[in-house]
């Protein structure tokens, strides 16, 4: 086995320069052919407008006084006719083909030994001369052939390097077109160990065995065990798959080859397969080592069964990867790690045992994992004494490692902006809000009517959530517009980690989502576009209950949809007939209607508290969930704990000068009855069509629908038709 491998290595070492020399020879040959053809066609083009006459004709033209000038050369005499003689000569020469658009050609004659020719020219007053001609053949050859050929060779090499991605060396890039572009880190040069990875204990445990095998292969081979050839890291974007792979290399202290799946893809068929062969050949020389292929789904997609739409280059690359995984000796310690967030598209042949033996899920971190991740990212950050990372970890449910790293960095930047020497709790909380909702839009001017609508909308979310069991507690309510489109939002934070939700909890979430629209109708008997995102999310939740969770009375435990792209957008594809899909829509509408009516009922029963909290929110613009609960319990909201943060001066915005409000696509969809609380007098400024929510509604918090934390928002698009009580009049059709 070893002898064979050594032979292969020798062949590989000898084949590279040989291929490179062949590539250079091919370029030189092509350059010579191109230069010769170029000179040939250039010469042909130069003589295309020339006419050869007999020497006797030349003598006659001189005698007829039609010649202006004669150029005496070694191989020919070039004649220039007088202007008055050119037209007559052309008519005689071209005959019927003559026309006025023809240009006078260059006339020349082959020289003869005619000693009296110069005397004849002098007799008729014809000027003549002999141009200087270099007799240096080498110079002429250099300028005409050698120099153009060298320039052509250089251009062709440059073109090959640019378009084929070859590396300099050996054949100046030509022989290395199929070479791997993998980055290699040796020993500790990755700079990453398991100490830098937090919140992924299960994944690290699965990889520790691989590291131990690379360190102590003998204790495994003694019992007859074989090292897994490959491990596939699967998880959502930002969970730390690439970081884990580098940490494995850093812990094992072995060479680490890192390459992306897109580096194998080329427009030329066979280049990708060649790069795979080269990658594994180089890895075999450096064994024991680790090969890491990021975004392996680029080359590992399911192969087509034929017909239109096939990709020969990608399929050849995949076939070569499968062959290399089967071919190398596992005892040498070459480990292949792959990372993807689309495992459902991978070819089954790639996932079978013997190739990628292990599938390691790198999931979103839980509460303990988020706390550990925050501790890792704050190791080099100067923190103040009031920082409580446990509360920040609880507030960031559903966030991945990349989100937490960005949160800590934004907090440090905010501390610098504020002129502080250390990051405090407020910086961390504010950075979390900025990441999920954007920065505050200080220049946005809202009318009093819009402020009241937004305030009641957001308080509607919060109050419905507070008056139900099984809902996540409210942590913050704000009516300050933010750059990501929200005119206001309500943030909910889970008290504990939850992995399952029952039907009643899901229905409570739906009522909370529809609480904003219910508040608009309860207080103002109107509807705004601000609830579009709420309606969209509530509808999606209801549809999942019917099609995936088996929580429908009509369909029971029947599965009608399949989750697609679990680690990306999490969309579901329907697996039912069109008639069944129509029935699903009816069932979803029933759930939405019931949830909306329940939300209206809760707000009507707590109308006094709704007004009190809305008035307090209008005064402060931003309040915490603790302050809201203090109002509900009859306590002073100024004395509550602000989620561990140190009290700061009021952030109520003050606008000075004339600020022109930006254009807004905000409108009422109904004609509400007169409401003394909100409707201005008849002579007041502003139109009745200006309401809240036109630009609002970016969902704060992680977009993953399965995340525990699900802050509410006001939506940024026109809503679908409102769901109303059966006994209520329809408040109007939505028109966008």
The residues assigned a catalytic role are: 458
Which residue has tokens 């009241």? Answer: 452
Residue 123 CA to residue 212 CA, distance in Å, equals 107
Residue 118 CA to residue 81 CA, distance in Å, equals 17
* Strand duo 256-260 + 289-294: pairing: parallel
Conformational region of residue 697, where left means phi above 0, alpha means psi within -120 to 50, and beta covers everything else? left
Conformational region of residue 485, where left means phi above 0, alpha means psi within -120 to 50, and beta covers everything else? left
Three-class secondary structure of residue 114 per DSSP: coil
With a CB cutoff of 8 Å and minimum separation 6, the contacts of 355 are 229, 230, 322, 325, 326, 349
Residue 476 CA to residue 645 CA, distance in Å, equals 13
205 burial via Cβ count (<10 Å: 0-12, 13-18, 19+): exposed
Residue 131 CA to residue 223 CA, distance in Å, equals 93
Residue 464 CA to residue 531 CA, distance in Å, equals 15
Three-class secondary structure of residue 150 per DSSP: helix
The secondary structure element, H or E, covering residue 79 is strand 77-81
Q: How far is CA 528 from the centre of its chain?
A: 34
Distances (CA, A) of 616 to 445, 446, 623, 678: 20, 17, 8, 16
Torsion sign, CA atoms 395, 401, 403, 406: positive
Whether the bond between 288 and the residue before it is cis, its omega within 30 degrees of 0, is: yes
Distances (CA, A) of 623 to 216, 629, 631: 58, 11, 11
Helix axes 607-620, 625-632, angle to 10 degrees: 140
Residue 44 main-chain phi, psi, to 5 deg? -65, -40
Q: What is the DSSP string of 331-364?
A: GG-EEEEEEES-GGGB-HHHHSTTTS-EEEE-PP
What does DSSP assign to residue 225?
Answer: -
7 burial via Cβ count (<10 Å: 0-12, 13-18, 19+): exposed
């Amino acid at each position: 086995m070893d002898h064979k491998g050594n032979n292969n290595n020798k062949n590989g070492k000898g084949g590279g320069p040989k291929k490179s020399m062949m590539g250079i020879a091919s370029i030189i040959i092509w350059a010579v052919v191109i230069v010769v053809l170029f000179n040939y066609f250039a010469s042909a083009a130069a003589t295309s407008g020339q006419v050869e006459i007999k020497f006797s004709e030349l003598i006659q033209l001189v005698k007829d006084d039609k010649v202006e000038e004669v150029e005496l050369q070694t191989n020919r005499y070039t004649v220039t006719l007088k202007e008055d003689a050119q037209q007559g000569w052309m008519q005689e020469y071209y005959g019927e083909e003559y026309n006025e658009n023809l240009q006078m050609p260059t006339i020349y004659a082959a020289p003869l030994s005619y000693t009296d020719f110069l005397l004849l020219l002098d007799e008729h007053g014809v000027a003549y001369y002999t141009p200087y001609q270099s007799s240096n053949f080498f110079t002429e050859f250099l300028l005409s052939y050698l120099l153009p050929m060298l320039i052509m060779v250089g251009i062709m090499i440059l073109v090959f390097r640019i378009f084929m991605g070859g590396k300099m060396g050996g054949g100046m890039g030509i022989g290395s077109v199929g070479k791997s572009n993998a980055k290699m880190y040796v020993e500790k040069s990755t700079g990453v160990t398991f100490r830098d990875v937090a919140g992924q204990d299960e994944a690290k445990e699965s990889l520790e065995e691989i590291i131990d095998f690379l360190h102590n292969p003998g204790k495994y081979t003694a019992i007859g065990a074989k090292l897994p050839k490959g491990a596939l890291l699967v998880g959502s974007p930002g969970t730390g798959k690439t970081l884990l792979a580098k940490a494995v290399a850093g812990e094992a202290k072995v060479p680490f080859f890192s390459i992306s799946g897109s580096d194998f893809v080329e427009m030329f068929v066979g280049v990708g397969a060649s790069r795979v062969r080269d990658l594994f050949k180089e890895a075999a020389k450096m064994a024991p080592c680790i090969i890491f292929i990021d975004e392996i789904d680029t080359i590992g997609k399911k192969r087509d069964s034929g017909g239109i739409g096939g990709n020969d280059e990608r399929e050849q690359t995949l076939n070569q990867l499968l062959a290399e995984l089967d071919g190398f000796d596992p005892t040498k310690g070459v480990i292949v790690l792959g990372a993807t967030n689309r495992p459902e598209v991978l070819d089954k042949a790639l996932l079978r045992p013997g190739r990628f033996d292990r599938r390691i899920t790198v999931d979103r971190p839980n509460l303990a994992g988020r706390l550990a991740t925050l501790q890792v990212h704050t190791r080099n950050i100067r923190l103040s004494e009031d920082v409580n990372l446990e509360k920040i970890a609880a507030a960031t449910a559903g966030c991945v490692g990349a989100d937490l790293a960005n949160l800590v960095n934004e907090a440090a930047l905010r501390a610098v902006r504020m002129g502080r020497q250390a990051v405090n709790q407020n910086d961390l909380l504010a950075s979390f809000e900025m990441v999920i909702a954007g920065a505050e839009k200080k220049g946005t001017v809202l009318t009093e009517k819009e402020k009241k609508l937004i305030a009641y909308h957001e308080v509607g979310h919060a109050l419905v959530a507070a008056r139900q069991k099984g809902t996540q507690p409210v942590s913050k309510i704000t009516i300050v517009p933010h750059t990501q489109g929200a005119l206001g939002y309500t943030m909910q934070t889970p008290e504990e980690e939850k992995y399952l939700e029952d039907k009643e909890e899901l229905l409570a979430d739906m009522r909370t989502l529809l609480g904003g629209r219910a508040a608009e109708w309860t207080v103002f008997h109107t509807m705004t576009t601000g609830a579009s995102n709420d309606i969209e999310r509530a509808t999606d939740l209801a549809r999942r209950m019917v099609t995936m969770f088996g929580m429908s009375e009509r369909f029971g435990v029947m599965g009608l949809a399949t989750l697609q792209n679990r680690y990306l957008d999490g969309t579901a594809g329907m697996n039912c007939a069109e008639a069944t899909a129509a029935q699903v829509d009816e069932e979803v509408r029933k759930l939405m209607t019931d949830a909306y009516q329940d939300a209206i009922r809760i707000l009507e029963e707590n109308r006094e508290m709704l007004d009190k909290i809305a008035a307090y929110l209008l005064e402060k613009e931003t309040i915490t969930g603790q302050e809201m609960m203090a109002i509900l319990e009859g306590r002073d909201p100024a004395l509550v704990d602000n989620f561990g943060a140190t009290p700061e001066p009021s952030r109520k915005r003050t606008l000075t000068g004339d600020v022109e409000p930006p254009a807004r696509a905000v409108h009422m969809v109904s004609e509400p009855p007169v409401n003394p609380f909100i409707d201005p007098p008849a002579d007041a400024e502003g139109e009745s069509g200006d309401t809240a929510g036109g630009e609002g509604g970016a969902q704060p918090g992680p977009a993953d629908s399965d995340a525990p934390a699900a802050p509410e928002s006001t939506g940024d698009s026109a809503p679908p038709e409102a769901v109303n009580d059966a006994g209520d009049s329809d408040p109007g059709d939505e028109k966008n």
